[in-house]
């Protein structure tokens, strides 16, 4: 039996990560025709089509989905084994990291995170990037180092995730609002005027489904794209904002917060990164800094 060409693992990793011949070719700095020939060799070696035409693009076969994380880890392990062993000197580290997060993360956890970074590695700069959507492409192509968020269907299946903290949704109103006094019943909550947070511009959310189960409907008079805008409106009006509690702690300063009178599940905010960065010492150190800042 002939010995397999282990160089094909690198090619397969790029193809499965990019999902296209052109993207894999760019990553490995090969011509599209050379990558097409490599894909043909992989198909012959594995006995599987791996990437199948679907419209104008390619989709992974079941075998490719099964191999994706395994092949990625094999390539990372090989790269780590061949990389010169160097001890990370934080005092001499000069690097810019990019972290994408939803509104409230920087305000709540940014100061503690930056304090840790600047104390240990004064040459490191952290670039905070707003999060308009859950597209995993920036982590895949390396334009982002880290992201915080809730793992869901839109999260790339190959991404690494580590839990940072648990959170829940709460109602928020200005001080002196009628809901500051007495029990906040589902009826009182629904009777108020509400501001809804939706990055995609949806007109209803999970809270509305919970109210509908009680035969109640709230009146949404404003829809905004972020938590800070919702809280700014609620701070200077009678609007009720519904936002994540821990994520918006500092943004809610001076306002009245209350538990929602309808059931809403808690959720986990996680730290996300691409597996290619697993073995990078500086990246590992930064991930530890984020975890420690969020643990305070």
Q: Cα–Cα–Cα angle for 211, 216, 220, nearest 5°?
A: 80
For domain 91-154+274-295, give its CATH number from 3.30.365.10, 2.40.110.10, 3.90.850.10, 3.40.190.10.
3.40.190.10
pLDDT of residue 59: 87
pLDDT of residue 4: 73
pLDDT of residue 2: 63
Tell me the CA distances in angstroms from 277 to 15, 75, 119, 259, 283, one per residue in order.
18, 12, 23, 39, 7
Strand partners for 25: none
CATH 1.10.3720.10 correct for 7-82: no
| pLDDT per residue rounded down to tens, the chain (296 residues) | 567 788 888 888 888 888 888 888 898 889 989 989 989 998 988 888 888 888 778 888 889 888 888 888 888 888 777 776 568 899 999 999 999 998 889 999 999 999 999 999 999 999 999 888 888 888 888 899 999 999 988 888 888 999 999 999 999 999 999 999 999 999 999 999 999 999 887 889 999 999 999 999 999 999 998 999 999 999 999 999 999 999 999 999 999 999 999 999 999 999 999 988 988 899 999 999 999 999 97
DSSP 8-class letter at 104: T
DSSP 8-class letter at 149: E
- Give 3-state DSSP helix, strand, coil % of the chain, rounded to 5: 40, 20, 35
CATH number of 169-265: 3.40.190.10
Measured CA to CA, the distance from residue 149 to residue 134 in angstroms comes to 8
Measured CA to CA, the distance from residue 76 to residue 10 in angstroms comes to 10
In the chain, the DSSP E strands lie at 51-54, 57-60, 95-101, 124-130, 146-149, 160-167, 169-173, 193-197, 219-224, 240-244, 256-259, 267-273
The domain limits of the chain are 7-82, 91-154+274-295, 169-265
pLDDT of residue 200: 81
* Within this chain, domains 91-154+274-295 and 169-265 share the same CATH topology: yes
Measured CA to CA, the distance from residue 271 to residue 92 in angstroms comes to 26
pTM over 0.85: no
């Amino acid at each position: 039996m002939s010995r397999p060409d282990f160089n094909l693992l690198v090619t397969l990793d790029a193809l499965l990560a990019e999902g296209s011949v052109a993207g894999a070719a760019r990553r490995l700095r090969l011509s599209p025709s050379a990558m097409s020939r490599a894909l043909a060799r992989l198909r012959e070696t594995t006995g599987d089509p791996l990437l199948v035409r679907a419209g104008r693009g390619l989709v992974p076969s079941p075998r490719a989905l099964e191999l994706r994380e395994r092949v990625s880890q094999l390539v990372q392990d090989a790269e780590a084994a061949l990389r010169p062993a160097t001890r990370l000197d934080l005092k001499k580290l000069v690097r810019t990291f990019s972290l994408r997060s939803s509104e409230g993360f920087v305000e709540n956890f940014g100061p503690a995170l930056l304090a840790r970074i600047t104390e240990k590695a004064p040459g490191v700069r952290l670039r905070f990037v707003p999060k308009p959507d859950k597209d995993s492409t920036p982590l895949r192509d390396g334009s982002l180092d880290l992201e915080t968020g809730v793992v869901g269907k839109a999260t790339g299946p190959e991404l690494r995730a580590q839990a940072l903290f648990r959170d829940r949704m709460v109602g928020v109103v200005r001080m002196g609002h009628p809901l500051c006094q007495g029990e906040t019943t589902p009826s009182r909550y629904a009777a108020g005027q509400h501001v809804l947070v939706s990055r995609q511009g949806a007109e209803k959310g999970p809270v509305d489904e919970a109210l509908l189960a009680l035969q109640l409907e709230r009146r949404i008079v404003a829809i905004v794209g972020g938590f800070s805008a919702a809280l700014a409106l609620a701070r200077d009006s009678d609007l009720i904002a519904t936002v994540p509690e821990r994520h918006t702690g500092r943004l809610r300063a001076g306002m009245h917060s209350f538990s929602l009178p309808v059931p809403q599940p808690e959720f986990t905010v996680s730290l996300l990164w691409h597996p290619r960065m697993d073995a990078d010492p500086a990246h590992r150190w930064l991930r530890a800094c984020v975890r420690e800042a969020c643990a305070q």
